[in-house]
Amino acid sequence: MNILVTGGAGYIGSHTLVELAKANYSFIVYDNLSNSSQESLKRVSKIIGKDITFVKGDIRDKAKLKEIFSKYKIDSVIHFAGLKAVGESVKKPLEYYDNNVVGTLRLLEVMQEFDCKKIVFSSSATVYSEVDAKNYKPLTESSPTGGTTNPYGTSKYMIERILEDLYISDNSFKIAILRYFNPVGAHDSGTIGEDPNGIPNNLMPFISQVAVGKREYLNVFGSDYDTHDGTGVRDYIHVMDLAFGHVKAIEYLNTHEEIEPLIVNLGTGKGYSVLDVVKAYERISGKKVPYKLVDRRAGDIAKCYADSSYAKEMLGWEAKRTLEQMCKDSWRWQSNNLGGYSNG
Q: Tell me, rounded to whole angstroms, the distance of Cα 231 from its chain centroid.
A: 23
Which of the following is catalytic: 152, 180, 252, 272?
Answer: 152
Does the protein bind ligand WQD through residue 179 (CB under 6 A)? no
The closest residue (CB) to ligand NAD is 10
Shortest distance in whole angstroms from residue 156 CB to ligand WQD? 7
String marking each residue 62-81 x if it binds ligand NAD according to CB under 6 A: ------------------xx
User: Number of C-alpha atoms within 13 angstroms, CB side, residue 178?
Assistant: 31
Residues 6+ apart with CB under 8 A from 264: 141, 176, 177, 178, 179, 245, 249, 310, 311, 314, 315
CB atoms within 10 A of CB 113: 12
State the binding partner of 86 from ligand WQD, ligand NAD, none, CB within 5 to 8 A by kind: ligand WQD
| Span of 52-60, 132-140, 221-229, 269-277 interacting with ligand NAD by CB under 6 A | 52-60
Report how many residues bind ligand NAD under the rule CB under 6 A: 27
Strands 2-6 and 262-266: unpaired
- Near ligand WQD by CB under 6 A: residue from 83, 203, 239, 280: 203
Rounded CA Rg of the chain: 19
Binding residues for ligand NAD restricted to 115-174, rule: CB under 6 A: 122, 124
Does the protein bind ligand NAD through residue 31 (CB under 6 A)? yes
CB 79 within 8 A of CB 121: yes
Shortest distance in whole angstroms from residue 17 CB to ligand NAD? 11
CB nearer to ligand WQD: pick between 287 and 297:
297
Whose CA is closest to 159, among 234, 87, 84? 84
Could you give phi then psi for residue 160, rounded to 5 degrees? -55, -45
CB nearer to ligand WQD: pick between 99 and 124:
124
Q: Tell me, rounded to whole angstroms, the distance of Cα 35 from its chain centroid.
A: 13
Could you give phi then psi for residue 225, rounded to 5 degrees? -75, 160
CB nearer to ligand WQD: pick between 190 and 196:
196
Does the protein bind ligand WQD through residue 210 (CB under 6 A)? no
Residue 204, CA distances (Å) to 31, 234, 237, 334 in order: 25, 11, 11, 11
State the binding partner of 285 from ligand NAD, ligand WQD, none, CB within 5 to 8 A by kind: none
Whose CA is closest to 279, among 324, 325, 246? 324
Does the protein bind ligand NAD through residue 342 (CB under 6 A)? no
State the binding partner of 201 from ligand NAD, ligand WQD, none, CB within 5 to 8 A by kind: ligand WQD
Q: Which residues bind ligand NAD (CB under 6 A)?
A: 6-7, 9-13, 31-36, 58-60, 80-84, 99, 103, 122, 124, 180, 183
Catalytically active residues, by annotation: 152
